[in-house]
Structure 1
C-alpha cells in the first residue's frame, strides 16, 4: 500500500514507523526540515519538506499514485484542505484527517465532510477518542487499559497482578477449570519488558500485566477474580480544563448525575469559560501542583484524580501528590512514550497516551481485509484486532484445534449474532462471525491475510 502522511510530529511519526515496519510504501510531508530529516534518518520512508496542502508538494510526493492520505499536522485546516486537494486533483481513494476543533464536529454540521462537500472518509478527533478512553477507565477503575469491540459486546481489559492477586501462580488451564462459566480469555502477558502470548500451561506471576478479552457482561466478574474489582467512581477531580478535561466533565454530567466533578484549571479565562458551560461541575482556578488548592478541591476524599493537562510532568506530579493526600486512585495523560515504564513505581494506577489512541483509530482503516477494529498495545508491540470472517477465510468451517494459527496469535473471542463465544478446541468459526484476536506485531500481516477477500468470494 502506498501511503502519504502529512505531518511528521508524534502521531505522524508513529504511523509511519508502524507502516514502514510492515513494508508499506510510505512518504511523509512536513514543513519542518528538522522533523523530515529525523524521520528519514530513522525510518525507511521518503520525506519531503513543504506545506502538506499545496498541490505541487503533494504532486512531488507522489499523491497521484497514493492509495491513502493521512493528514495529521497540527492544524485542522491544513489537514482538511490536504484531503480536499488529494481528492480533487489526485483522486486519492482514502482520506483520513485529524480534526481537533469541536466546532467542525458538531452534529448539525455533520454533512460538512460528505463526499459532495469536503470528501474526507475518516475524521479523527484526539480529544474525543482520548476522552472516551478516560471515561471507560473511570467506569472500570480496576483496569489499566480497556477498549470495546463488536459494537460493545466484547471488551479487552488490561490489569496488573499484585502479590495478593488470588490467581497468581495459577496455570491458565486451571483457571478455566476453576471458573468454567467465565466468558473471558487471557490472550497476552507483559512480564519484565517482554510481551508474549501465553500457552495453556503458563502461569501468571506477581507484577505481570495481563491482557484479557471478555464478554461485556463478565468484565466486572473477571476483575473480581483477579482481585481488581474496585468501587464505582463517584467523586472525580480533573486537573486540566482543556478540550479533553472539559469533554470528560461534560460527559460525566450527561451520563451520571450521581458523580460529583471538580476541575482545577490554571488559566483564569478558561476556568470562567468552562464554569459557565458546566452547570453541575465546580471549577477552581489555580495550579494542579498546589497542595492547598488540591485540598480545597477535596482531593483527599476523591475516588479518582484524572490529570489531563498539556504537561506530562505536571500530570505525573499531580497524581503522586493526590495519592499522598489520600485520593483513592489516579489516571494520567502521558504524551511521552518513555514515561509509562516507571509510572507504576511512582504509584500511578493508569495512564492514557493520546498518540497510541489516535494511531489505533487510524490503523483500523489501514488494515486490509474485513478489519472492523484495532487497538495497539505496548507502543505497537501487539494489536488486538476485530475481524469479520468470510466464507473463504482459512479459519472458517473447521474446529479451532485443527487450525494452524501462527505463534504469537491467540483468538480471544467469537461474537456471533449478539452472543459471546469463548473459543475452545471444538469451536467452529462461521461466516460473518466477528473474531477478536490478539497478535504480536510480527504476526499482524498474517492475521490480515486470514480475513482478506479472496477472488473466490466473487
Structure 2
C-alpha cells in the first residue's frame, strides 16, 4: 500500500493508537487536537506532524492540508466535533472521511440527520463493536479471543495454557503429527509481555496464551485437545447498563438467562422495558451482598462494562474467585489489556481498540480484505488477496523466505479454506490469512502485490 496523507482529529487513545500503527507503515500523518499536552505526548513517541487547533474549525483543517489529504479520521469523544470536521473536510476536498460516533441515534435509518449528507464514508460506533466482541467470546465459551475470517469458515481462537494442561512441554511439531485429523496452525504464543511467532520446535509452557487458526468446524475438537470445557453457557450476569451492556443483553437474552445490574434507577427502569427477556436489577456492583444474593457464584459468565474500569477489573477478579467460568471486563486504558493473562481475567475488552481496528481495516482495504488486532498482543491478523505475478505466488511456502515476524495461517482457494503446509502453493486471487508483527507489515504487503 503506497503512502497516503492522513489527518487524524483527536489525540486521545484511539487517535494515538491509529497514529502509531499508520506511522509505522510510513504514511504521512498529521494529528490535530486542542490539547497541547496530548499533542506533546504524541510528538515525543511518534514520527508524525502535530497541529494544535479545533478539528471542527475551517482554518485548522486548511492549515493541516485537508484540500490535499487522502483521508480524514475524526475520533474525538465529541460527536459534534467529528461530524463538523468531516463536513468541512468534505467541502475542502479530502477524499475519504471516517468518523467515530458515540450516540447510537446517529445510526438509526430513519434519523432526520443522515451521515451521508456530511460526506461520511465510514461510521465507527465503538460501543457496538465492543459488544459484538463480548458476544463472540460468550458464544465460544472456552476461548479468550475469537476472530472470524473467510466469511466465518476459519476462526482464530485464543487459548490459555492452564496448570495441568496436556499441552505443557509439548513441541508444536509433535502435537501436529499426533493430531493430523485437525486442521490447525499455531500462529502466535504470548508469553509474559513477549509475542513469539512459533516454529515446530517451540514448546508450550504454563501460562502461555496461544493463538490457533483453525477450520471453524474443528474448533470444538481443538478446544477439547487443550483441555477446555466446551459446554455452552446458560447463565450470564452483566454489570453496567450503558450502551455496551444493553447491546450484549439484547444479543444474548433469547439464548441464555441474563441478569443485568445497573446502579441508576431511571436507567434500570428504561432497560427493563427495552429488554423484556433480561432480568434487570437496580443496585451497585460494589455491593458484594447484592451480587451474592443474585447468584454470581452460579453464573457461567460475568461481564463488567461500567464506566469505572477499576471497578470492572476488581469485580471480575471477585467473580473468578467465586468460580465463574469466564469473566470479561471493559477497560478504557489500552495499557491495561496485556495484564489480562497475568491477573487471571479471561478477557479485557476496549471499545477504543475495537474502533481503531475497524478503522485500520478501512484504511488498508484493497489487496487487504480484512484486518484484526489481538487484545494485549502487538500484532495483527491480516486477510489479503494474492495479486497475479506477486512474489507469494512464485514458490511453495517453504521456499518463499517469508518475512521474519509473519506467518501464513490459512489459504482460501476457489472458496475452499485450508490450513497450509510447507508444500502449499498460493495462486493468484487466493485469499490468505497472515499473522504479522508491525515490523513485517510492509514486507508482507510487498509479497502479495
What is residue 418 of structure 2 aligned with on the other side?
421
Misfit runs of 4+, over 6 Å: none
What is residue 456 of structure 1 aligned with on the other side?
none
Q: Gaps (5+ residues) in structure 2? A: none
1:443 aligns with 2:443: no
What is residue 27 of structure 1 aligned with on the other side?
30
In structure 2, how many angstroms separate the alpha carbons of the residues matched to 1:379 and 1:164?
Answer: 24
Q: Deviations over 1:403-452 (max 9, x none)?
A: 22011111000123332211012212122221000011100111122233
Structure 2 counterpart SS, 1:78: helix
Q: Specify which of 2, 13, 30 is matched with residue 5 of structure 2.
A: 2
Structure 2 counterpart SS, 1:339: helix
In structure 1, how many angstroms separate the alpha carbons of the residues matched to 2:113 and 2:231?
Answer: 42
1:64 aligns with 2:61: no
1:52, distance to aligned residue in structure 2 (A): 0.7
In structure 1, how many angstroms separate the alpha carbons of the residues matched to 2:77 and 2:338?
Answer: 27
1:246, distance to aligned residue in structure 2 (A): 0.2
1:175, distance to aligned residue in structure 2 (A): 1.6
1:181, distance to aligned residue in structure 2 (A): 2.0
What is residue 99 of structure 1 aligned with on the other side?
101
What is the Cα-based RMSD across aligned positions, in Å? 1.9
1:13 aligns with 2:16: yes
In structure 2, how many angstroms separate the alpha carbons of the residues matched to 1:439 and 1:248?
Answer: 30
1:135, distance to aligned residue in structure 2 (A): 0.5
Structure 1 counterpart SS, 2:212: strand
What is residue 196 of structure 1 aligned with on the other side?
196
Q: Deviations over 1:278-307 (max 9, x none)?
A: 001111111111112112322111111101
1:280 aligns with 2:277: yes
Q: Specify which of 327, 331, 340 is matched with residue 330 of structure 1.
A: 327
Flag the 1:432–1:110 CA change in 2: closer, same or farther, 3 A: farther
Flag the 1:54–1:422 CA change in 2: closer, same or farther, 3 A: same
1:155, distance to aligned residue in structure 2 (A): 1.2
What is residue 39 of structure 1 aligned with on the other side?
42
Structure 1 counterpart SS, 2:170: coil
In structure 2, how many angstroms separate the alpha carbons of the residues matched to 1:390 and 1:20?
Answer: 25
Judge conservation of contact 1:12–1:72 (CA < 8 Å) in 2: yes
Q: Deviations over 1:156-177 (max 9, x none)?
A: 1111112222222222221221
Judge conservation of contact 2:338–2:377 (CA < 8 Å) in 1: no
Residues 111-260 of structure 1 correspond to what in structure 2 (within 5 A)? 112-114=114-116, 117-253=117-253, 257-260=254-257
Flag the 1:417–1:80 CA change in 2: closer, same or farther, 3 A: farther
Q: Deviations over 1:175-196 (max 9, x none)?
A: 2211112121101111232112
In structure 1, how many angstroms separate the alpha carbons of the residues matched to 2:389 and 2:265?
Answer: 60
Judge conservation of contact 1:356–1:379 (CA < 8 Å) in 2: no
Structure 2 counterpart SS, 1:331: strand
In structure 2, how many angstroms separate the alpha carbons of the residues matched to 1:345 and 1:201?
Answer: 25
Structure 1 counterpart SS, 2:306: coil
Q: Deviations over 1:22-75 (max 9, x none)?
A: 322211111222212322233222222222122111011111221111010111
Judge conservation of contact 2:187–2:409 (CA < 8 Å) in 1: yes
Flag the 1:221–1:188 CA change in 2: closer, same or farther, 3 A: same
Normalising to structure 1: TM-score of the pair? 0.93
Judge conservation of contact 1:303–1:329 (CA < 8 Å) in 2: yes
Judge conservation of contact 1:242–1:309 (CA < 8 Å) in 2: yes
In structure 2, how many angstroms separate the alpha carbons of the residues matched to 1:328 and 1:368?
Answer: 38
In structure 2, how many angstroms separate the alpha carbons of the residues matched to 1:325 and 1:71?
Answer: 42
In structure 2, how many angstroms separate the alpha carbons of the residues matched to 1:234 and 1:99?
Answer: 33
In structure 2, how many angstroms separate the alpha carbons of the residues matched to 1:19 and 1:183?
Answer: 33
Judge conservation of contact 1:389–1:434 (CA < 8 Å) in 2: yes
1:322, distance to aligned residue in structure 2 (A): 2.0
Judge conservation of contact 2:192–2:342 (CA < 8 Å) in 1: no
1:298 aligns with 2:298: no
In structure 2, how many angstroms separate the alpha carbons of the residues matched to 1:188 and 1:326?
Answer: 29
Range moving further from structure 2, 49-58 or 231-240:
49-58
In structure 2, how many angstroms separate the alpha carbons of the residues matched to 1:118 and 1:150?
Answer: 33
1:128, distance to aligned residue in structure 2 (A): 1.1
